[in-house]
Structure 1
Amino acid sequence: MSSFFSNLFNRNNDPKSIVSFDVLYEVYSHLYHESSRLNFKMKGIHDTVSVALYSIPDSFDHDEGKAEIKKAGFNNAYEILNEVYKKVNIGPLSDEEIKEGLNYYYIHIEFFSKPAPEMKKRLKHVLNNFIVFFCCTNSAETNDFKLLYNNSYFYDYTRGLLELKAVDIKEPTNEIQKIGFKDFEIVLHGICEYLGAEIPATVVKPSTESLIAESTSVEHFQEFLKLISRGEMEEELLESQAQILFEAFEEGIEDYDYDDEFDFFEGVNCWNSDWKFDAEEAEAIVSDLIDQDFKFDYPEETYSHDLFPYIQKELAKQELELMSYDTKGDSYLFFVANKNEVDRILELSELTKIEIDQL
């Protein structure tokens, strides 16, 4: 048996927002009746979107779960649930209700977002964990939900639950939340599309296009090479390189085999650089990449990655952007892309598994 408990305050529902009870409960219904866990890829979202339906106590009824509960100082999963309920103003379960042995369900949605600008030096992606608990507000039937969030890995799942914070999707408190909350709306739209779940007509959809990632083909590698070379790669070489990369992709090679010359970037105007460089070196690098003299303004005593904002500001005047292939080391493989093609390059990076860094 399952149950949802009473919310002590007013109902949380905006019929125009995709983060609404009607949409979330539709997702819950699919997870409950069809498959309790799903993983899929979305356009513009790094790696995989994970969605899972958990139940208390059943999802914690195993040795690891019991050990985590004990380690956290609690006797059972219901006590963990009551601690989480406190965070979102849901009334706690009484001893009598616990003895009934009902399952209390929640949804865990996990995905990555781009880091805030000040975090790009340290992180390429930020993990988002959204937990949805359902409840009743001024009703005997389930009609409401509460949202909790953090951006940490759940190495200890019980501890992860206890460290969650109650959030209002309309009121992010920092830049990480601002980005993550906006992406959550898009991800929720993608989940509905993936499940074939109906979205109420009153909801303002975050996107008018399909959000599900395309199936990777050799044409995606061709498009990728064409964009990172700004259309300057010879057609015969482009097709040959794309075929080699696609075959490696199909064989499941995640880290493409390349030597110190980065052979698969043959035909792309790029520059391999150590992580340490000064402004004069940066000007020389970019001048070579765009085949014209390049100068930019920067504060004194500014070096290496701290120069990127100033380089990008100057390149933006020509609708260009500096990017780098992920060399898996402490170096850069710079190239310059057309600014209006950067989003598509990043999408293709996800599809082809050729990692590109936005600087």
Structure 2
Amino acid sequence: MRHDAAPPTAPTASPALTASEKAGDIGLPWQRRLTPPRRLALLAVLALACALLFMTVGVKTDWAFALQFRGKKLLAMLLVAYAIGVSTVLFQTITHNRILTPAIMGFDALYLLIQTLLAFLFGMRAVNAFDPTLKFLSETLLMVLLAWLLFRSLFSGAVRSLHLMLLVGVVMGVLFRSLTSLLLRLIDPNEFGSLQDRFFASFNLVATHLIVAAAVVLAATSWWLWRLRHNFDVIGLGRDMAINLGVDYPRVVMQILVCIAIMVSVSTALVGPVTFFGLLVANLAYQLMGDSRHRNTLPAAVLLGVVALLGGQLLLERVFEFNTALSVVIEFVGGLVFIALLLGGKGR
């Protein structure tokens, strides 16, 4: 009996090759030559160089005083770069969207509302007399508490809707901004002039006396995230896949969201609101590393944040001579990146 031979089939790509491609092993020529550890090493060297230049360039007075003054400022900027970089990458992992930042939850708007409400009730002279550490911890606790209530009500129990939580966060941000605008119309004009400085992030006048409190809070939050680190890449695969792989998705995502809220609150209370800085460093980290594995993207985002803050501040001080604020430049560039991502359809 004659049996017809089966037609030859085209070879299919192996799962290992597909995973390798997704991991970024096949990409631009320079990405093939430089492995992710080498790219991180180069970023670390660049960040270290920026830190050394920031500490030494232009020192004309007593070195001990200059290094102490710049050292505190350097530590504060390192904390901000770390908090914003880590929180943004993890937030985009949870939402599976690279054009979203934690600012969508209304943290910046709540911070502005708190500052305006304090000025309206007590006056800027009394607000400036508050204990800085106590004020910092109170603002951070209030922002984290609001975020926890939002997460608890919309991402636990029978609801568990991440998209609804994001939508409510956007609405709450609009509400906070509307209340801030109302209070600004009622506030004394002299108080408004003093209050306006708090509405913009300042990397030049960082509250260095809050470094210890911010470092302790971020260290505790980082320790908790370190315990959850094995879940990050799995959650990035999607809710259904993560559940199938044994991850307690609602509980783990809830814990990560609380940690994100703490980091964003600390950063906002330390230097003020920044909207697009996290978007900028996170997407640069994705492009540079060529993949989405958190062991690469998290340190890359932090190192890029350090380079952006220290290098940008150094350029403003030595080249532009403080003719503009670093936050304005960062927000402008970040806004351009945001528009490019929208036009390029790379939100997901």
TM-score (norm 2): 0.22
Larger RCO of the pair (alpha carbons < 8 Å, separation 6+): 2
**More helix per residue:** 2
User: Quick check: which has more Rg, 1 or 2?
Assistant: 1
Q: TM-score, normalised by structure 1?
A: 0.21
